[in-house]
Structure 1
Amino acid sequence: MGHVTELAYLGVSATDLDAWESFAVDMLGMQLAKKTDQQLSLRMDQKAHRFLINFDQENGHAFTGFACADENALQELVKALREQGYEVLEGDANLAADRKVEQIYTTLDPIGNCVELIYGLQDADTPFHSTKIRSQFVTGRGGAGHEVLVEQGVDRKKIMDWYALLGFKLTDIIEEQITPEIKASVAFLHCNGRHHSLALANMPLPMNLHHFMIEVADISDVGSAYDRCMDAGYDFEMTLGMHPNDQMFSFYVKTPSGFSIEFGWGGLIIDENTWQVKHLDQLSAWGHRSGQVVAEKLLANVKP
């Protein structure tokens, strides 16, 4: 059966494209590919884009593009979804041209998120160039990065069964007692050697997308981006830290659309054939403190 091989791109709704351009290019080091009154297209590598920011009256997660290896795999996947009773619509030529793909289908996951199934994401005409990072973004076979979706009260098994049809397999589960009242539970799923391209979070959060992770090849680029975001006054969801499962060294900064970007280095590459599912009880091995709490503690220590 056909299956996806990577998370190819992320679609975002935004009320302020200029704010997104400044954030993505000047803070994170992405490259502006194209900008109109209605859309901002951003590059991270040789591909035509990895982020599409669409002007809207509301901020949030618009769609996620998952790529198949070829047309046959895509057609097999679409057939399998339809046989299970899921509605899958073929995108027209205009949508394919906007996404710069050979072929595209759209559907909804059980949470209600828009998922685009594609093959043939085009390369850009020019080499990737960043004015901010000195290494490169880690993409390739691992795709653009990973996203963490909030389950919104939908049964996790139903969501995982749906993504299993796409080819996702369970990597890890972390359950941590955040407060006496709140227990965070996150299931991590992979579709290639990247530790996870998708995670499902059972947390009381209003947005359907908690964060999207982008990874760089040099740890110094993490520190430099952290400083840039701090100097510019961006809100940090979490400070520098490391996760125990994917071993990512990272920080989390709020985007202009409300969800966070995890900016990281050193993510684990797994062997899909030998990997054993793990159960852990800590979301972070160290660090990743709340930006608000850190700021409050600093202010409390300032002498009048």
Structure 2
Amino acid sequence: MTSVTELAYIGIEASDLDAWQHFGVDLMGMQLAERTEDSLALRMDAKAHRWIVVRGDADDLAFTGFECATEADLGAVVANLRAAGAEVAEGGADLAAARKVERVVVTADPVGNRVELFVGLADADTPFQSDVLFSNFVTGAGGAGHEFLMERVDRQEILDWYGILGFKVTDYVKEEVAPGVFADAVFTRCNERHHSVAWADMPFPKRIHHFMIEVGSINDVGLAYDRCMDAKQPFEMTLGMHPNDEMFSFYVRTPSGFNIEYGWGGLTIDDSTWQIKHLDKLDTWGHRAPQVVADLLKP
């Protein structure tokens, strides 16, 4: 079946672009690609951008861009979406130019998240350069990273819709986090990355709980952890590891109130051998709330 190949870029509507530039460049290690009065774009690799932050009051996910390998693949995905009753509109030349792609179409998933499907994300004119990274961001065949979104509608409806895009279920995690209270998540993939889009039935005020960016050295996780701590950037969770994607990471709050998972060592999937798993723990170890750690460290 024809599918998208990667989660290629993410768009955020943010009220404080200066804070986002500081967060993305100085703390996360990205490179500023462009800055205008009402937007900024951030690079993670040779591509023209991976993050697009536009001025607005929502402070939340604005759109996600998924790439198709060819025009024919894009056309097939669009046809399959329309056959399933989804509305898909051409983005037009102006939007394609703004996103630096050859062609883009716009639709919405069952939750109402804006989805942009496209071909041909341009390379930047200059090599990627970070002033703080020890290694590099892990993108390539796995795309920009993964997003962890809030369900808010029937899960099967979401899985069916993303199945049209070619997403497959990797695994499920359901953990009882308090008596009778469960965090229930499903993880889906469109390439070798363990998951590019995950969904959870759990309370959270934003559309997106976190976006994961991966680095090529464990040292970069520690260095970013120290930078965020020194900057007093609020943490969501301390260092830890997940049992499903085996990511060593921490979670830090963005200027818009959702989180970045900053990780290393994520599992890649071989489609020919992978079997769906059902797990009962979100974390192998760590990933504790900062206040819990602070209380434990009190004399």
TM-score band, normalised by the shorter chain? over 0.9
Q: Does 1:183 align with 2:204?
A: no
d(CA) in 2 for partners of 1:71 and 1:19?
37
Residue aligning to 1:110 = 110
Q: How does 1:109-188 map to 2 (within 5 A)?
A: 109-152=109-152, 154-188=153-187
Task: Return 5+ residue gaps in structure 2 as ranges.
Answer: none
Deviation at 1:44, TM superposition (A): 0.1
d(CA) in 2 for partners of 1:30 and 1:296?
33
Q: Which moved more, 1:178-187 or 1:160-169?
A: 178-187
Q: How many residues align?
A: 299
- Residue 155 of structure 1 aligns to which amino acid in structure 2? D
Q: Quick check: 1:17–1:39 contact (8 Å CA) kept in 2?
A: yes
Deviation at 1:274, TM superposition (A): 1.4
Question: 1:245 is paired with a residue of what secondary structure?
Answer: coil
d(CA) in 2 for partners of 1:36 and 1:296?
43
Deviation at 1:92, TM superposition (A): 1.1
Q: Quick check: 1:2–1:72 contact (8 Å CA) kept in 2?
A: no
Q: Quick check: 1:250–1:264 contact (8 Å CA) kept in 2?
A: yes
- Residue 207 of structure 1 aligns to which amino acid in structure 2? K
Query: 1:195-221 CA distances to partner (integer Å, 9 max, x unpaired)?
Result: 001101110212110100000000000
- Residue 282 of structure 1 aligns to which amino acid in structure 2? K
Q: Quick check: 1:237–1:292 contact (8 Å CA) kept in 2?
A: no
Residue aligning to 2:48 = 48
Task: Return 5+ residue gaps in structure 1 as ranges.
Answer: none
Question: 1:178 is paired with a residue of what secondary structure?
Answer: strand
Q: Does 1:95 align with 2:92?
A: no
Q: How does 1:1-304 map to 2 (within 5 A)?
A: 1-152=1-152, 154-298=153-297, 301=298
Deviation at 1:55, TM superposition (A): 0.5
Question: 1:257 is paired with a residue of what secondary structure?
Answer: coil
Deviation at 1:57, TM superposition (A): 2.2
- Residue 193 of structure 2 aligns to which amino acid in structure 1? R
- Residue 27 of structure 1 aligns to which amino acid in structure 2? L
d(CA) in 1 for partners of 2:294 and 2:9?
33
- Residue 15 of structure 1 aligns to which amino acid in structure 2? S
d(CA) in 2 for partners of 1:128 and 1:191?
25
Q: Quick check: 1:2–1:75 contact (8 Å CA) kept in 2?
A: no
Q: Quick check: 1:41–1:52 contact (8 Å CA) kept in 2?
A: yes
Moved over 6 A (4+): none
Deviation at 1:293, TM superposition (A): 2.3
d(CA) in 2 for partners of 1:208 and 1:215?
21
d(CA) in 2 for partners of 1:258 and 1:83?
37
Query: 1:162-182 CA distances to partner (integer Å, 9 max, x unpaired)?
Result: 000000000010000011132
Q: Quick check: 1:244–1:285 contact (8 Å CA) kept in 2?
A: yes
Deviation at 1:294, TM superposition (A): 2.1
Identity %: 61
d(CA) in 1 for partners of 2:170 and 2:2?
20
d(CA) in 2 for partners of 1:22 and 1:204?
29
d(CA) in 2 for partners of 1:172 and 1:58?
31
d(CA) in 1 for partners of 2:100 and 2:181?
42
Deviation at 1:292, TM superposition (A): 2.8
- Residue 127 of structure 2 aligns to which amino acid in structure 1? P
- Residue 143 of structure 1 aligns to which amino acid in structure 2? G
Q: CA RMSD in A?
A: 0.9
d(CA) in 1 for partners of 2:181 and 2:234?
23
Question: 2:5 is paired with a residue of what secondary structure?
Answer: strand
Q: Quick check: 1:236–1:292 contact (8 Å CA) kept in 2?
A: no
- Residue 295 of structure 1 aligns to which amino acid in structure 2? A
d(CA) in 1 for partners of 2:230 and 2:83?
52
d(CA) in 2 for partners of 1:111 and 1:290?
28
d(CA) in 1 for partners of 2:160 and 2:171?
16
- Residue 221 of structure 2 aligns to which amino acid in structure 1? V
Question: 2:159 is paired with a residue of what secondary structure?
Answer: helix
Question: 2:274 is paired with a residue of what secondary structure?
Answer: coil
- Residue 49 of structure 2 aligns to which amino acid in structure 1? H
